[in-house]
Amino acid sequence: MFFTPSGTTPSQTEFGARRGYRRVATAIALAAALTVPTLAASSAQATPIRSAADPADTVLKVATSADIDTLNPFTAILASSTGIMALQYESLTAYSAKDNSIVPGIASKWSTSKDGKTWTFTIPKGRVWSDGKPQTADDVAWTFDAIKKDPQLQQANGGLLESVKDVTAPDKQTVVLTLAAAQASNPGAELPIVPEHIWKDIKDPANFANDKNSVGSGPFTISSYSEGQSVVLKANKRFWRGAPKISGITYVYYKNTDAQVQALKTGEVDIIPANNLVAAQYNSLKGQTGITVNPGVGRRYTSLNMNSGAIDSTGAPLGDGNPVLKDVRVRTAIQEAIDNKTLFSKVLQGLGVQGQTEEPPVYPEYFGIDKKDMIPFDPKAANAQLDKAGYPKGADGIRTDKSGKPISLRLLGRSTDPTHAQMAEYIKPWLKDIGIDVTLTLESSNQVNDDSTLGKYDMYFTGFGIGPDPDFQLSINTCKSRPNADGSGALSESNWCSPEFDKLYKAQHTELDPDKRAALVKQAFGVIYKAAVNDVIWYASPLEAYRSDRFTGFDKQPAKNGVITSQNGYWGYYSATPVGTKSSGSTDASAATSAAFPAWATVLIVVVIVLILGLIVLLVVRRRRVTSDDRE
Amino acid sequence: MTATLDATESLQQITQEESRPRAASWPRYIARKGGGALISLGMVVLLGFFAFRILPGDPAISMTRGRRVSAEQVDQLRKEFGLDQPLIIQFFHFVGGLFRGDLGTSYTFHRPVAELIGSHIGATLLLTGTAAVLSIILGLWLGQRAAWKRGSLFDKTQTGLALIFWSVPTFWLGLILLLLFGGFLQWFPTGGLVTPGSNETGIALVWDVIRHLVLPVVTMVAVVYAQYLMVMRASLLEEMTADYLTTARAKGLKEDLVRRRHAVPNALLPTVTLIFLTLGGLVGGAVTVETVFSWPGLGYLTFQALSAPDLPLLQGTFVVFSSIVIIMNFAADLVYRVLDPRLKAS
Amino acid sequence: MTAVTVRSKRSIAAARRRDRAVEVWREFARNRGGLVGLAILLVVILLAICAPLIAPATLLDVTKVDGLPNQAPTWQYPLGTDPAGRSVLLLLLWGSRISLLVGFSATIVSMVIGTLVGMSAGHFRGVGQAIILRVIDFFLVVPSLVLAIVLSTVLSRGAITIIIAIGLTSWAGTARLVRSQTLTIESRPYIERSWALGAGNAHILGKHVLPAVLPLVLAHTTLTVGSAIIAESTLSFLGLGDPTTVSWGTMLKSALDTGAATAGFWWYVLPPGIAIVLVVLCFTLVGRAFEAVINPTLRGR
Each residue of A365-396: pLDDT tens digit? 999 898 898 999 999 999 999 999 999 998 88
From chain B residues 291-320, the ones with a CB under 8 A of any chain C CB are 291, 302-303, 306-307, 309, 314, 317-318
Q: B342 CB near a chain A CB, below 8 Å?
A: yes
Residues of B in contact with C233 (CB under 8 A): 169, 171-172
Give per-residue pLDDT as tens, A33-71. 444 433 333 333 323 333 333 444 689 999 988 778 789
Percent over 90 (pLDDT), chain A: 47
Cβ–Cβ gap A31/B134 under 8 Å: yes
If we measure between CA atoms, which residue out of C104, C111, C98 comes closest to residue C241?
C98
Say which of C63, C156, C258 has its CB closest to residue A278. C258
- Partners of B235 on chain A (C-beta within 8 Å) are none
pLDDT, tens only, A321-356: 999 999 999 999 999 999 999 999 988 989 999 999
Residue C152 CB coordination number (10 Å): 22
Residue C135 lies in a domain: yes
Output the pLDDT for position A25: 47
Annotate A142-163 with b (16+ C-beta within 10 A) or e (fewer). bbbbbbbeeeebbbbbbebbeb
The CATH number of the domain where C222 resides is what? 1.10.3720.10
Q: Does B252 reach chain A within 8 Å, measured CB to CB?
A: no
| 3-class SS of residue A72 | coil
CB-CB neighbors (< 8 A) of A257 in chain C: 259, 262
Question: Is the minimum CB–CB distance between A32 and chain B shorter than 8 Å?
Answer: no
Query: Is pLDDT larger for residue C103 or for residue A32?
Result: C103
Residue A128, strand partner residues: A134
Mean pLDDT of chain A: 83
Question: Alpha-carbon distance A499 to A415, whole Å?
Answer: 35
Could you tell me if C239 lies within 8 Å of chain B, comparing CB atoms? Answer: yes
Put residue A282 in one of left, alpha, beta given phi > 0 → left and psi -120 to 50 → alpha.
alpha
Confidence category of residue A133, pLDDT binned at 50, 70, 90 = very high
Mean pLDDT to the nearest integer, A151-157: 79
Please, are residues C162 and C241 in contact by the beta-carbon 8 Å criterion? yes
How far does C249 lie from chain B, in Å, by closest CA? 10
Query: Is residue C13 situated within a structural domain?
Result: no
pLDDT at A143: 92
pLDDT at A16 exceeding the cut of 70: no
What was the pLDDT predicted at B24? 62
Residues A38 and A156 in one domain: no
Pairs across A and C, CB distance < 8 A: 71
Beta carbons within 8 Å of B139's beta carbon, 6+ residues apart:
B224, B225, B226, B227, B228, B229, B231, B232
* Tens-digit pLDDT profile for residues A236-276: 999 999 999 999 999 988 877 877 888 888 888 899 999 88
Please report whether residue C11 resides in a domain: no
Measured between alpha carbons, how far is residue C174 from residues A139, C111, C215, C220 in Å? 69, 7, 12, 7
Please indicate, yes or no, if residue C213 is contained in any of the structural domains: yes
Q: Answer whether B40 sits within 8 Å of C134, measured CB to CB.
A: yes
Measured in whole angstroms, how far is the alpha carbon of residue B75 from the centre of its chain?
A: 41
Q: Which pLDDT belongs to residue B62?
A: 61
Instruction: Tell me which chain C residues have a C-beta less than 8 angstroms from the C-beta of B2.
Output: 173
pLDDT bracket for residue B29 (50, 70, 90): confident
Q: Is the bond preceding residue A499 a cis peptide, omega within 30 degrees? A: no
On whether both A82 and A222 belong to a single domain, the answer is yes
The more confidently predicted of residues B19 and B288 is B288
pLDDT in tens, B108-125: 776 788 888 888 888 898
Given the DSSP bridges, would you call strands A551-552 and A291-294 parallel, antiparallel or unpaired?
unpaired
* B99 pLDDT tier (thresholds 50, 70, 90): confident
Q: How many CA atoms lie within 13 Å of A195's alpha carbon, on the beta-carbon side?
A: 20
Predicted confidence band at C4 (pLDDT cuts at 50, 70, 90)?
A: low
Mean pLDDT is lowest, of A123-132, A295-304, C255-264, for C255-264
Query: Looking at the domain assignment, is residue A304 inside a domain?
Result: yes
- Residues above pLDDT 70, as percent of chain B: 79
In a domain, A1, yes or no: no
A369 close to A315: Cβ distance less than 8 angstroms = no
Cα atoms found within 13 Å of the Cα of residue A174, Cβ hemisphere only: 7
The residue with greater pLDDT, C7 or B250, is B250
The confidence score (pLDDT) of residue A247 equals: 92
Which of A231-245, C83-97, C184-198 bottoms out in mean pLDDT, i.e. has the lowest?
C184-198
Residue A511 belongs to some domain of the structure: yes
Partners of A227 on chain B (C-beta within 8 Å) are 109, 111, 116, 119
Task: Give the CA distances from residue A516 to residues A511, A519, B194, in Å, rounded to whole numbers and listed in that order.
Answer: 7, 5, 56
- Is C160 a residue whose pLDDT tops 80? yes
C146 touches chain B (CB under 8 A): yes
What confidence category does residue B5 fall into, taking pLDDT thresholds of 50, 70 and 90?
Answer: very low
Structure confidence at residue A312 (pLDDT): 86
Name the pairing type of β-strands A437-443 and A408-414: parallel
Q: Please, which pLDDT band fits residue C154 given cuts at 50, 70 and 90?
A: confident
* Any domain includes A5: no
> Is there a domain that residue C90 lies in?
no
Please tell me whether residues A488 and A363 are part of one structural domain: yes
The mean pLDDT value for A78-83 works out to: 84
Residue A109, min C-alpha distance to chain B (Å): 31
Q: Given 3-state DSSP classes, what are the helix, strand and coil percentages for chain A, each rounded to the nearest 5?
A: 35, 20, 45
Classify residue C38: in a domain, yes or no.
yes
> Which C-chain residues 168-227 have CB contacts (< 8 A) with chain B?
173, 176-177, 179-180, 183, 219-220, 223-224, 226-227
Looking at A517, A540, A563, the residue that finishes a domain is A540
Q: In this structure, how many other beta carbons lie within 10 angstroms of the beta carbon of residue C27?
A: 17
Instruction: Give the closest-approach CA distance of C91 to chain B in angstroms.
Output: 18
Residue A20's pLDDT is: 46
Q: Verify whether the Cβ–Cβ distance B287 to C145 is below 8 Å.
A: yes
Mutant choice from C40, C41, C150 vs B, greatest count of B C-beta within 10 A: C150
- CA–CA distance, A246 with A235 (Å, rounded to integer): 7
Q: What is the mean pLDDT of residues B162-176?
A: 90
User: Would you state the pLDDT for residue A595?
Assistant: 40
Among the listed residues C123, C289, C136, C301, the one whose alpha carbon sits nearest the alpha carbon of residue C218? C289
Say if residue A490 is in the same domain as residue A568. no
Is C150 in contact with B314 (Cβ distance < 8 A)?
Answer: yes
Cα–Cα distance for residue pair B253/B242, rounded to 1 Å: 15
B98-131: buried (b, 16+ CB within 10 Å) or exposed (e) per residue? beeeebbbbbbbeebbbbbbbbbbbbbbbbbbbb
Rounded mean pLDDT, B95-101: 80
Chain A partners of C157 at a C-beta cutoff of 8 Å? Answer: 415, 441-443
DSSP summary character for residue C71: P
Examine the domain organization and report whether A173 and A288 are in the same domain: yes
Whether C259 contacts chain A with CB within 8 A:
yes
Residue A182: DSSP 8-state: -
Range with the largest mean pLDDT of A481-490, B249-258, B296-305, B334-343 = B296-305
Please count the structural domains in chain A.
3
Quote the strand ranges of A243-320, DSSP E. Answer: 248-253, 271-272, 291-294, 300-306
Domain that holds residue A196: 57-297+542-578
Question: Which one, of A386, A442, A383, lies nearest residue A411 by Cα?
Answer: A442
Which of A34, A478, A488 should we substitute to test contact with B (largest number of B Cβ atoms within 10 Å)?
A: A488
**Residue with the larger pLDDT of the pair C123 and B216:** B216
Name the H helices within A454-590.
471-475, 499-510, 514-530, 571-574
Cβ-contact C106, C228 below 8 angstroms: yes
Residue numbers in C near B6 (CB within 8 A): 173, 176-177, 220, 223
Distance of CA A230 to the CA centre of its chain: 16
Percentage, residues of chain B above pLDDT 90: 7
- CATH number at A489 reads 3.10.105.10
- The yes-or-no verdict on residue A419 having pLDDT over 60 is yes
Phi and psi at B250, nearest 5°, equal: -65, -35
> Does A137 share its domain with A193?
yes
Residue A138 pLDDT > 90: yes
Taking all residues of chain C, what is their mean pLDDT, rounded to a whole number?
A: 84
Q: How many domains does chain C have?
A: 1
Question: Would the pLDDT of B210 be above 80?
Answer: yes
Q: Residue A2: inside a domain, yes or no?
A: no
A7 within domain boundaries: no
- Which residues of chain B neighbour A35 with C-beta distances below 8 Å? 214
- Asked if residue A90 and residue A30 are part of one domain, the reply reads no
Together in a domain, A452 and A553: no
Over residues B21-35, mean pLDDT: 75
- Nearest-Cα distance to chain A for C145, in Å, is 19
Task: Note the helical H segments in A123-195.
Answer: 137-149
Range from A167-181, A411-425, B229-243, C1-15 carrying the lowest mean pLDDT: C1-15
How many C-beta atoms lie closer than 10 Å to residue A206's C-beta? 16
Tens digit of each residue's pLDDT (9 = 90 or more) over B299-335:
888 887 876 677 788 888 888 888 888 888 888 778 7
Beta bridge partners, A461, equal A304
- Selection from C88, C68, C51, C101 nearest residue C255 by Cα: C88
Q: Which of A49, A151, A586 is opposite residue B73, by nearest beta carbon? A: A151
Residue A559, in any domain of the structure: yes
**pLDDT of A9 over the 50 cut:** no
| pLDDT given at position A37 | 37
d(CA B123, CA A143): 40
Preceding peptide of B56 cis, ω within 30°: no
Domain span at residue C219 reads 24-55+96-298
Beta bridge partners of A271: A62, A546
Residue C4 lies in a domain: no
User: Is the ipTM above a cut-off of 0.90?
Assistant: no
Determine the Cα–Cα distance for residues C103 and C236; give it in Å rounded to an integer.
Answer: 13
Shared domain check, A315 and A286 = no
Could you say which DSSP state residue C8 is in?
A: -
More confident residue, C28 or A375: A375
Q: Are residues A285 and A388 in the same domain?
A: no
CATH of the domain at A290: 3.40.190.10
Quick check: C257 and A426 CB within 8 A? no
Would you state the pLDDT for residue A582? 45
Best mutation target, A65, A255, A265, A278, to test chain C (most C CBs within 10 A): A278
pLDDT tens digits, one per residue of A587-626: 333 333 334 567 777 888 888 888 887 887 777 777 666 6
Q: How many B-C residue pairs are in contact by the CB < 8 A criterion?
A: 155
Chain C: partners with 3+ C-beta pairs within 8 Å: A, B
Q: State the first-to-last Cα distance of chain B, in angstroms, to the nearest integer.
A: 37
Give yes or no for C263 touching A (CB within 8 A): yes
The pLDDT-based confidence of A629 (bands split at 50, 70, 90) is low
Residues A280 and A420 grouped into a single domain: no
Strand A230-235 relative to strand A248-253: parallel, antiparallel, unpaired?
antiparallel
Report the run of H or E that residue A223 belongs to, with start and end: strand A220-226
Q: Identify the chains in contact with B, defined as 3+ C-beta pairs within 8 A.
A: A, C
Position A350 in a domain: yes
Which chains lie within 8 Å of chain A at 3 or more CB pairs, if any?
Answer: B, C
B36 touches chain C (CB under 8 A): yes
